[in-house]
Amino acid sequence: MNSLFFMYLTNGIVMGIIFALSALGVSLIVGIMNVINFAHGELYIFAGYISYILSVKLGISFYFAIPIAILTIFIIGILIEESLIKPTYGNDMYSLIITFILSIVLQNFALLVFGPFPNKPPNWISGATNMFGLFRYGNQRLVSCLAAIGIIIIVFLLIKKTWFGKTIRAVSQDRETASLMGIDTSKVNMLSFGLGCAIAGAAGVVLAPIFPVTPLAGVEISLIAFIILVIGGMGSLWGCIIGGLIIGIVQSFGAAYISSGYKDIFGFIILILVLFIRPSGLFGRKAL
Amino acid sequence: MILKATGISKSFGGLIALKNVDFHINSGEILGLIGPNGAGKTTIFNVLTGIYHPEQGNIDFNGEDISKYRPFEICHKGIARTFQVTRAFLDMSCLENVLVGIIGNNPNLSPAEKKSEAIKYLEFVGLKNSVDTQAKNLTLVGKKRLELARALSTHPKLLLLDEVLSGLNTTEMREACDLINIILDKFGITIFWVEHVMSAIMEVSGRIIVLDHGEKIAEGLPKDIANNAEVIEAYLGESDA
């Protein structure tokens, strides 16, 4: 045990929490609507681009840039749901194909508009913190991690404590009965799709200062989010947190002690193990 | 008259579930609906609540044709139901289950009012001590009571009961019938009731309609229905004599 070990562990936890946040939005949409949003990663990078444009090109402080970026993605999410997802209700395969096509369209849109170069909004904070006298860790990563924890807590409170949360839990458990109790399920779908996209957007703005956005950066994020989704169990919010932490920590240790070239393979190894041992994911398919 | 259905037809592929069914429900009565398995009883409920739209016919509810409305709109108009196989939101507490009905129909109440209203209905159905129990931990009777509370919380004018008595023992049936009579008297809610337990439905209903193979074969007072030749034939099969 040396200080490097703790640095890798810290890095794994920080990345794990940020991964968890990026998977949370997909999981929420799967849990409520049974729609798998393949365009999740692209919405994530769009939020990164929006925060980049607002803060670098227009010089707006990141205190404002962040909420504007998240809100924009929320509205884009609602527009996507109303125009593309709504007509596919009742056939999961159609929505899968449509969001897959959407992700390709959005990638090329980003390539056309923003160009192939990495773009990065300025760091929120500079410097590094001495962690328990063991090693120094970048402040931006710590702040991004705290922001991610904050957003995850807000999402959990929204679902467990608010009126809107009660209706979306009811809809995710039994859509037909919820509608018979007077809940407008299409409105709930619209808002929860928007919410899921907004969480992707939140992950995007939190992560953009650490990992600059490129038109294809969303692919990797989507991939990790889907691995986490399967490991944790489709639609399970706690599964996202645990799955995210597992992937983050294993990637960090694997890259450090085995080879950083194999970084991406560790997630897939865990995925295969989980599918062997618990095919429905660690938390199974649970209601919200 | 609270509801008048005229010429309702509904088929699934080649299977005709309902064929030109007419019936009406008087305000403040308990109307019983009986019929052999597969007669179309549950389909009638699904058509009334907007889960299915009838291919033909219309449903006049308080002077408005609701046959094209969606389920939540029909719920807002004042029709609520319970299920033959209970469908409580199992991963939510009893309180939350009832709150869903209140949020769906009365979103403008303050949180405290919503909660006290929900507790009022839970107390009424006898679940006062299970307010925070997860619905999945309730007994069958408990789940049926919870469904009743949840249906009442939507402020229905017409309550559709789908075999509330199935799976209950004699004492529980007695209690359920008493509860339903109180719902009629105290809340003034009209009741449309599908039931397999003949003794109970004959005793409680004011009027009964009988379905067989998607068609209405009889309508009348319980004692007339019990002696109706066509009804006996539908239930017992044709006699050889």
Q: What chain B residue is nearest to A172 in terms of C-alpha separation?
A: B89
pLDDT at A136 over 90: no
Query: Cβ of A153: how many Cβ atoms within 10 Å?
Result: 10
pLDDT at A154 over 80: yes
Q: Are residues A40 and A156 in the same domain?
A: yes
pLDDT at A112: 92
> Could you tell me if A190 and A78 are in contact, meaning their C-beta atoms sit under 8 angstroms apart?
yes
Q: Report percent pLDDT > 90 for chain A.
A: 39
pLDDT at B226: 83
pLDDT at B2: 93
Say which CATH class B1-78+159-168+191-236 falls into.
Answer: alpha beta
pLDDT at A205 over 80: yes
Q: Look at phi and psi of residue B188 and say left if phi exceeds 0, alpha if psi is from -120 to 50, else beta.
A: left
Q: Are residues A84 and A172 in the same domain?
A: yes
Q: Regarding predicted confidence, which is higher, A261 or B169? A: B169
Question: Which of A189, A214, A239 delimits the end of a domain?
Answer: A214
pLDDT at A56: 82
Q: Regarding predicted confidence, which is higher, A4 or A240? A: A240
CB contact under 8 A, A179 and B75: yes
Distance CA A168, CA A69 (A): 24
Q: Does B121 touch chain A (CB under 8 A)?
A: no
Residue A208 buriedness (CB in 10 A; 0-12 / 13-18 / 19+): buried
Residue A3 lies in a domain: no
Q: Are residues A157 and A279 in the same domain?
A: no
User: B75 vs chain A: nearest CA distance in angstroms?
Assistant: 5
CB contact under 8 A, A180 and B105: no
Query: Averaged over A112-130, what is the pLDDT?
Result: 83
Q: What chain B residue is nearest to A169 in terms of C-alpha separation?
A: B92
Q: Are residues A113 and A198 in the same domain?
A: yes
List chain A residues with CB under 8 Å of B103.
163, 166-167, 183
> Could you tell me if A49 and A111 are in contact, meaning their C-beta atoms sit under 8 angstroms apart?
no
By Cβ distance, the residue of A166, A176, A184 closest to B100 is A166
Distance CA B214, CA B32 (A): 16
Question: Which of A159, A186, A214 delimits the end of a domain?
Answer: A214
Q: Are residues A180 and A195 in the same domain?
A: yes
Contacts 24+ apart (CB under 8 A), A160-168: A163/B99, A163/B103, A163/B107, A163/B111, A163/B114, A164/A191, A166/B92, A166/B96, A166/B99, A166/B100, A166/B103, A167/B100, A167/B103, A167/B104, A168/A32, A168/A192, A168/A288
Q: How many domains does chain A have?
A: 2
By Cβ distance, the residue of B75, B83, B103 closest to A166 is B103
Question: How far, in whole angstroms, is CA B57 from its chain's centroid?
Answer: 21
Residue A20 lies in a domain: no
10-residue mean pLDDT profile of chain B (241 residues): values are 92 90 93 89 92 92 92 94 91 93 89 92 92 92 93 94 89 91 91 89 90 90 86 72 48
Q: Which of A139, A90, A180 is nearest to B156 (CA)?
A: A180
pLDDT at A59: 81
Q: Are residues A41 and A156 in the same domain?
A: yes
Show me where the domains of chain B are located.
Answer: 1-78+159-168+191-236
Q: Are residues A141 and A259 in the same domain?
A: no
List chain A residues with CB under 8 Å of B71.
176, 179-180
Q: Which residue has the tokens 């884009």?
A: A76
Q: Does A175 touch chain B (CB under 8 A)?
A: no
Residue A146 lies in a domain: yes
Residue A47 lies in a domain: yes
Q: Which residue has the tokens 């998240």?
A: A70
Q: Are residues A285 and A185 in the same domain?
A: no
What is the value of ipTM here, to two decimals?
A: 0.85
Q: Are residues A67 and A192 in the same domain?
A: yes
Q: Could you say which DSSP state residue B84 is in?
A: S
Q: Are residues A97 and A198 in the same domain?
A: yes
Q: Does A170 touch chain B (CB under 8 A)?
A: yes
Please give the span between the terminal C-alpha atoms of chain B, in angstroms, as a whole number.
42
Q: Regarding predicted confidence, which is higher, B59 or A278? A: B59
List chain A residues with CB under 8 Å of B118.
none
Residue range A175-202, pLDDT digits in tens: 999 999 999 999 999 999 999 999 999 9
Question: Which of A182, A214, A246 delimits the end of a domain?
Answer: A214
A145: domain range? 28-120+137-214
- What angle do the packed helices A3-33 and A40-52 form, to 10 degrees? 120
Q: Which of A192, A156, A163, A166 is nearest to A74 (CA)?
A: A192
Q: Does B83 touch chain A (CB under 8 A)?
A: yes
Residue range A72-114, pLDDT digits in tens: 999 999 999 999 998 888 788 898 899 999 999 999 999 998 8
Q: Which of B234, B59, B233 is nearest to B160 (CA)?
A: B59
Residue A45 buriedness (CB in 10 A; 0-12 / 13-18 / 19+): buried
Q: Are residues A202 and A222 in the same domain?
A: no
Residue A15 lies in a domain: no
Q: Are residues A79 and A222 in the same domain?
A: no
CA angle, corner B47, sides to B42 and B52, nearest 5?
A: 105
Residue A5 lies in a domain: no
Mean residue pLDDT across chain A: 88
User: A133 vs chain B: nearest CA distance in angstroms?
Assistant: 46
